[in-house]
Amino acid sequence: LYKIISSEIEDGIPGVVDIKVIEKHRENLLLGASGDLSDLFWAIHNEESPDEIKKTALRYDYIELFPSNDIKTRLVYKNIVKLGKELNIPVVATGDCHYYGQGDEIYRRVVKEFKGGADDNNQQYLRNTEDMLKAFAYLGEKDSYDVVIKNSNLIADMIEQVKPLSTDPSEFEIPGADDFITKEATSKAVFIYGGHLSPTIEERLISELKIIKSNGFSSFYMLAHLLAKYAHENGQP
């Protein structure tokens, strides 16, 4: 997974990974077709040949469906459920959650406007199991149960419990990290507010640094700072 992420960064196209890179490092990874964002969805939507649709579907270990009120999207999803049964690929209902409650999409829309805006919908809120069953009731009682409950648990049971990062703080201790972040933070404060810091700024600076150091976070902050600095110096946003 780290090699795949690194390849995306090296190619300079944020969020896009070449399928050849994924296939090269496919072992021990679960690959899912992501709802109406996937090539499988659009292959069915655009009525490509059955062979092409099957070829696309067989790339994946499971296929996701998102809650949607759009009739055309629901028709595609019904076809995906049939295809999943035919090819023995689990079809799983996922929330595609981007915010907590129904109606909260306004906050996400405001944030996205600052990044140029984009199409959005009001269906990407967190649902419980009962809500999900209602959202996929159009599939019929058995199929809605399978995609919401049965297959979700099936995929969850396929996922090995791993720790992507160690939880042992001592493994991330960098000698001199306390002094480093104190120097960097103080230097930045002086750059922003001038050589003589006001009592309010100075007290806040001391307080924030104390919290970071007392909780053993100095090395994490130092590492984050150095990574960001390296990225900026090498033309990465």
Burial of 60 (0-12, 13-18, 19+ CB in 10 A): buried
The larger pLDDT score, comparing residue 87 to residue 119, is at 87
pLDDT at residue 119 greater than cutoff 70: no
pLDDT for the residue numbered 165: 72
Express each pLDDT in 153-211 by its tens digit: 999 999 988 877 777 766 778 899 999 999 999 999 999 999 889 999 999 999 999 99
Task: Say how far apart CA 93 and CA 137 lie, in whole Å.
Answer: 11
In the block, tokens 């929330």 appear at 95
Structure tokens at 83: 């295809």
Q: Is the pLDDT of residue 149 over 90?
A: yes
pTM metric for this prediction: 0.68
pLDDT at 117: 62
Q: Give the confidence band of 34 by pLDDT, cuts at 50, 70, 90.
A: very high
| Mean pLDDT estimate for the chain | 89
Higher pLDDT, 166 or 70: 70
Q: What angle do CA 145, 147, 152 make, to 5 degrees?
A: 105
